[in-house]
Amino acid sequence: MTDSATDHVAIWVGESQLSLIEGLSGTPGLEIMALGGDSAMIKATADRLNAAHLADPKALAGVEADATLIADPSRIMPTDVLSAMIAEANRSHRPLLSMAPRPASIEESAELIASAVLPSPVPCFRDLPQGRRFIAAAESFETPSAASVEISGPAAETSLTGRLFDAFDLLSVWFGLPSFVDATAVRPLGSHHPAATQRLFAMAKFPDGRAASISAGVDGGRHARVTTLFGPGGRMQNLDGCLDWTGPEGEVLEHEATTTRGADDFHRELAASIKSHVQMNAHGERSRSPEMLVDLLATCEAVLLSSRTGEPESVDAVRSMLGRV
C-alpha cells in the first residue's frame, strides 16, 4: 500500500486458478501482495511474483493489503476458518471478497450467516462500469415484465453459485427478489451426482407476477453474460457490455456493435471488481446491505434445492432456514 494509484490484494487460490493469477498480476493498478494455498506450485508462483506465500487462510486474512480475495471456487472454506477471516476483515476494515460465495451447507452456515457480514461475491456485473451503464440505459426502457440472463464460463474462473448470484443480483435491480424458483441441473451424460452439475436452468417467479429465466454454467467456453429485458419498451439486450434495443414494433432504438473478446477479459473484470470494492470501502460504502447479501444467497440456495428436489422452492422458506427473515 505504498502507491495510492495501486491497490494491493491478498489472494487464496487453488492450482486451477494459477493462470488467473498470472493474468491479474499484469493488470495495471493492481498488485498481488500475498498468495495463499497449500501446494508447491502456488508457492512457486508467489515467489515468481515476489509475493508472500501463506499456507493458512486465516493468516492470509491478516496481511496488510487493501482487500482479501478467496479465489478458489472448488474449495468451500470450513465455517470456523471463514468466520476467522471475516472477523479479521472486520477488525482491519478491509473488504473480504469471494469467487465462491456459498460458505458451506445451510445447516453449517446458518449461525455464521445470522451473526456476520459475509464475503462480497466478485465479479458481479452490477459493480462494473459496463453493468452500471446498462442499468442507467434501462431507465429509459420502462418497467420490464420479463427477463432472461445467461452467465457462462470455465469452472476455474468462478463457482456455479457465484454465477447464480451475479444473475439474481442484476435481476434484483428491476424485479426485486423472487418468491419461487423452479430449477433443473444439467450434468454430463451418465453422471447423476450433484457435484457433477455444470449448468443450472431456473425459472424465477416474482410476487407481482413477473418472471425471469436464468442459465448459469461452468461448462466451459469464454466468460460471457447475456441479459435481455422484455416489456412495454420492447426488447433491450446487453451482450458482453454492448447494448441492443428494439422498440415494440421492431424499430431499432440503439445498437452497438459487439467487440472482439479476449482471453484476458475475465482478468480485467475481476481486477475492476476488486478495485471497485476497495474504493467503496475507502468511502465507507457497501455494494449491498448484509440483509440483501443474505437474501440473494438464499435465492441461490433455493435454486440448488429445487434442482435436487425437482420441485419449485420458496425463497422465503430457505431464507428462514438461514436465520434471517
Which residues, in sequence order, are CB contacts of 118 under 8 Å at separation 6+? 86, 101, 103, 112, 290, 293, 294, 297
Q: What average pLDDT score do residues 75-101 get? A: 87
Residue 1's pLDDT is what?
47
Band of residue 154 on the pLDDT scale cut at 50, 70, 90: confident
Type of residue numbered 291: E
How are strands ordered across the β-sheet holding 242-246? 252-255, 242-246, 234-239, 219-231, 146-154, 211-217, 199-205, 180-186, 313-314
Residues 283, 248: Cα–Cα separation, whole Å:
42
Band of residue 3 on the pLDDT scale cut at 50, 70, 90: very low
Which residues, in sequence order, are CB contacts of 177 under 8 Å at separation 6+? 168, 206, 295, 296, 299, 315
Pick among 3.40.50.720, 3.40.50.450, 3.40.605.10, 3.40.190.10: CATH of 7-121: 3.40.50.720
pLDDT at 60 over 70: yes
DSSP class of residue 17? G
Percent of all residues in the chain with a pLDDT value above 70, rounded to a whole number: 90
CATH 1.10.10.60 at 125-256+295-309, yes or no: no
Q: What average pLDDT score do residues 104-132 get? A: 77
Residues 324, 271: Cα–Cα separation, whole Å:
32
Mean pLDDT of the chain: 88
Residue 242 zone, left/alpha/beta (φ > 0; ψ -120 to 50; rest): beta
pLDDT at 141 over 50: yes
Three-class DSSP category at 100: coil
What residue spans in the chain does CATH classification 3.30.360.10 cover? 125-256+295-309
Tell me the pLDDT tens digit for each residue of 281-313: 999 888 888 889 889 989 999 999 999 999 999
Higher per-residue confidence, 54 vs 1 = 54
Residues 236, 254: Cα–Cα separation, whole Å:
9
Q: What average pLDDT score do residues 196-212 get? A: 94
DSSP-assigned letters across all residues of 135-189: HHHGGGS---SEEEEEEEEETTTS-HHHHHHHHHHHHHHHH---SEEEEEEE--T
What residue spans in the chain does CATH classification 3.40.50.720 cover? 7-121
Residues 270, 240: Cα–Cα separation, whole Å:
14
Tell me the pLDDT tens digit for each residue of 13-38: 998 889 889 989 988 999 999 999 98
The answer to whether the beta carbons of residues 240 and 256 sit under 8 Å apart is no
Query: Residue 245's beta-bridge partner residues?
Result: 236, 254
| CA dihedral (214, 144, 317, 77) positive or negative | positive
The answer to whether the beta carbons of residues 103 and 112 sit under 8 Å apart is yes
SS3 assignment for 209-230: CCEEEEEEECEEEEEEEEEEEE
Compute φ and ψ for 323, nearest 5 degrees.
95, 0
